[in-house]
Every structure is written in C-alpha cells, then in structure tokens.
Amino acid sequence: MLEEDTISLSEVQVLSPSSLEKLMREARSKQLDNPVAAKSAPIPIQKAPLPPPSTLLVASPISVLYNLFSNEAKQLKQLEEFRKQEQQKKEEQENRSYNKFFKDSTGYD
C-alpha cells in the first residue's frame, strides 16, 4: 500500500543570462566541447513552397480528350458546381442571420 511522504529537495539556484550574446557563446562552446551534441541538433532547412500544379501540362492529346469528355470529368464538374451552390447558400444564410438583427436590411444585400 502506498503511503504519503514528504521529500525535501535540495536548493536550486536559477540565474538569468546577462545577455543573449553571452548565452549564445556559452551554447557554442558547449557544442564544441561535445561533438555528439553538435551533431544531434541539426539546423532545420526551410524549403521554398512548391508552386501549385499546373493543369496546362498535357501528356498526350488522348489524355486531353479523356479529361474533357469522360464520366469522371463530368462528375468533377458537377461536384464543383455543387460546391459553389453550397457556398452561395451558406453565404446567403449568414447574411440572413446577420440582417435579422436590423429593422430595415434592404440595402445590405
């Protein structure tokens, strides 16, 4: 069975660095003293964002015809139209819910 107990910890002294430059110098010197620490903390490389995929690139004329006239292309067009209609409905509903707080909201639509 577990029993409650009080444990006294030794004193810890917390100091703030005198400056950021001094802190950076100390960190560099510790990394030079310990080569494993220098290798274990790589500097992240920021990559440039990739450009959006271009729809103008075409592999062959057959793929263009397929993308224009296939059932999949028709379904994608229908899905796009459906999403636009849903977005319009959502915006109209938001406008109605906002305008219901005013007596005359004819000029805001």
Domain-located, residue 19:
no
Per-residue HEC secondary structure of the chain comes to CCCCCCCCCCCCCCCCCCCHHHHHHHHHHHHHHCHHHHHHCCCCCCCCCCCCCCCCCCCCHHHHHHHHHCHHHHHHHHHHHHHHHHHHHHHHHHHHHHHCCCCCCHHHC
Q: What is the pTM of this model?
A: 0.37
pLDDT tens-digit map of 42-95: 666 677 776 666 555 546 778 778 878 888 888 888 999 999 999 999 999 998
Domain that holds residue 96: 57-101
In a domain, 80, yes or no: yes
Q: How many domains does the chain have?
A: 1
Question: Is 63 among the domain residues?
Answer: yes
Residue 106 has pLDDT above 70, yes or no: no
